Structure 1
Amino acid sequence: MTYWIGKCIEAQRSSTKLMSAFQHIESTRSRIDDSGIIQKHAYEELQNSLVKSRLYPHDDFERVLKEHQKNNDSLPSLEEFEELYRKMKVQLEEEVAERTLALKKTRQKMNKKNQQLVESRHKYEDRLRQQQQALQQAREEIERLNGQLQVERRSKQELEENLDQKRQQKLSIDLFIQAQRAECKVCLVEEVQVLFLPCRHLVTCEKCANRLGQCPLCRENIQDTIRVFWA
């Protein structure tokens, strides 16, 4: 039984190979000239065989044709196309790998640069925050000093006002004392003009002094008098 199954499978494979060979002969029949030599593929035929049958993408198809025509004037055969495609695919994969590696390195550099920028930004924000705090403290200190200066100015102004009041009071007292001293203590009208001796009191005018025998302040006997003239 197993023997006959193997024979059937072998026969089926043989028939599949024959069918593929027949299809290949049919596809190349249009390209056989009178001498029996197979001509190169036409563009439409290559496109139908490779692109429309979804074996290769259209961009890859055009890229391989362009590469082949750099050194050849005719279109490639299917075997030439596949061989050149494999070579270009290997090159392309190498280029993609190199570009991927370069892109990875570039991303690593960018990430490192971004990290440095983030760290620099954080440092700048920290410095800015510290400067803002220092500025706020300086403003508060200035406000405190301004308040203290205003208090000192008010205190100084009050002291000056008190000093002026005391000066005015002293001046008024001095003027009162001077007026009292310059006025005769007996008649309260005339100016003081006579100095009594020996007590040296200056208390009366000349008219009142002539009528007195004793000093009205200390009651000492008047022995002599001196006429006083005010400047």
Structure 2
Amino acid sequence: MTYWIGKCIEAQRSSTKLMSAFQHIESTRSRIDDSGIIQKHAYEELQNSLVKSRLYPHDDFERVLKEHQKNNDSLPSLEEFEELYRKMKGIVQLEEEVAERTLALKKTRQKMNKKNQQLVESRHKYEDRLRQQQQALQQAREEIERLNGQLQVERRSKQELEENLDQKRQQKLSIDLFIQAQRAECKVCLVEEVQVLFLPCRHLVTCEKCANRLGQCPLCRENIQDTIRVFWA
């Protein structure tokens, strides 16, 4: 009993600790031999006190005993068990919180990876559409350049045709003027203006002086039966 009296005195005379110490003394009285040395705690008795009384779950009980026996050869007292249980419970809660946060972080990373993958896919689709639009734009530019080239060729061709047409018109006009001049000139004397229309052939080829000397038309050689004096406007 000397051992436990000394332990009670070291408990700083706290009523709660003293009561707990005396209760522990009474609960362990059967495990003290005649020399006053505490024997090893009976596992069944400790289990009945802590587990079967539904104070602690069996898994927690086994975990606390395993942790206590790492540094001790005997079973823990109730105080030691409660203190170690609180410490381990805090560690377990902390581990659970860490596990929950790790799981939440993992889920967040998975969401971020999925979002990043979606962003990458969207970027690839956008780049493909942009590339297609750029190709279409390049093709449109090339088509516009080709059409502009054709337009320039057509304009040059039109200009050449107009120039050729003007030349032909001028040539025709010159020819017409020449023909008119030739027609208005007497075909016999080549000096006077054509003035007489022969009948019945109706050719207008000579002046009045030359017509009086002719009996046949100089163009068709038909006999002249009558003449008509022509006056130019």
For normalisation by structure 1, the TM-score amounts to 0.60
Q: Distance in 1 between matches of 2:31 and 2:101?
A: 42
Q: Distance in 1 between matches of 2:80 and 2:156?
A: 106
Q: Distance in 2 between matches of 1:10 and 1:68?
A: 22
Shift of 1:158: 1.5
Q: Distance in 1 between matches of 2:189 and 2:52?
A: 150
| Residues 198 and 204 in structure 2, CA contact (< 8 A), matched pair in contact too | yes
Q: Distance in 2 between matches of 1:4 and 1:53?
A: 26
Tell me the SS of whatever aligns to 2:11.
helix
Whether 1:182 and 2:184 are equivalent positions in the alignment is yes
| Residues 215 and 222 in structure 1, CA contact (< 8 A), matched pair in contact too | yes
Once the two structures are superposed, residues 204-224 of structure 1 have per-residue CA deviations (whole angstroms, 9 ceiling, x without a partner) of: 112222233333333443332
Deviates more, 1:67-76 or 1:103-112: 67-76
> Structure 1 residues 14 and 103, CA, compared in 2 at 3 Å: closer, same or farther?
closer
Once the two structures are superposed, residues 142-170 of structure 1 have per-residue CA deviations (whole angstroms, 9 ceiling, x without a partner) of: 11111112112222222222122111111
Deviates more, 1:67-76 or 1:191-200: 67-76
Gaps of 5+ in 2: none
Deviates more, 1:19-28 or 1:191-200: 19-28
> Structure 1 residues 13 and 219, CA, compared in 2 at 3 Å: closer, same or farther?
same
> Structure 1 residues 12 and 37, CA, compared in 2 at 3 Å: closer, same or farther?
closer
Q: Distance in 2 between matches of 1:19 and 1:6?
A: 14
| Residues 11 and 17 in structure 2, CA contact (< 8 A), matched pair in contact too | no
Q: Distance in 1 between matches of 2:74 and 2:209?
A: 161
> Structure 1 residues 162 and 11, CA, compared in 2 at 3 Å: closer, same or farther?
closer
Q: Distance in 2 between matches of 1:157 and 1:48?
A: 118
Match for residue 143 of structure 1?
145
For normalisation by structure 2, the TM-score amounts to 0.60
| Residues 64 and 81 in structure 1, CA contact (< 8 A), matched pair in contact too | yes
| Residues 196 and 226 in structure 1, CA contact (< 8 A), matched pair in contact too | yes
| Residues 196 and 222 in structure 1, CA contact (< 8 A), matched pair in contact too | yes
Q: Distance in 1 between matches of 2:37 and 2:6?
A: 39
| Residues 8 and 18 in structure 2, CA contact (< 8 A), matched pair in contact too | no
Once the two structures are superposed, residues 120-178 of structure 1 have per-residue CA deviations (whole angstroms, 9 ceiling, x without a partner) of: 11111111111111111111111111111211222222222212211111111111111
> Structure 1 residues 49 and 145, CA, compared in 2 at 3 Å: closer, same or farther?
farther
Q: Distance in 2 between matches of 1:23 and 1:46?
A: 14
Match for residue 79 of structure 2?
79
Report how many residues are paired: 231
Q: What fraction of aligned residue pairs are identical, expressed as a percent? A: 100
Shift of 1:226: 0.6
Match for residue 36 of structure 1?
36
Tell me the SS of whatever aligns to 1:13.
coil
Match for residue 173 of structure 2?
171
Deviates more, 1:183-192 or 1:33-42: 33-42
Tell me the SS of whatever aligns to 2:227.
strand
Deviates more, 1:15-24 or 1:194-203: 15-24
| Residues 215 and 221 in structure 1, CA contact (< 8 A), matched pair in contact too | yes
| Residues 196 and 208 in structure 2, CA contact (< 8 A), matched pair in contact too | yes
Deviates more, 1:203-212 or 1:166-175: 203-212
| Residues 40 and 76 in structure 1, CA contact (< 8 A), matched pair in contact too | no
RMSD: 12.2
Q: Distance in 2 between matches of 1:10 and 1:34?
A: 23
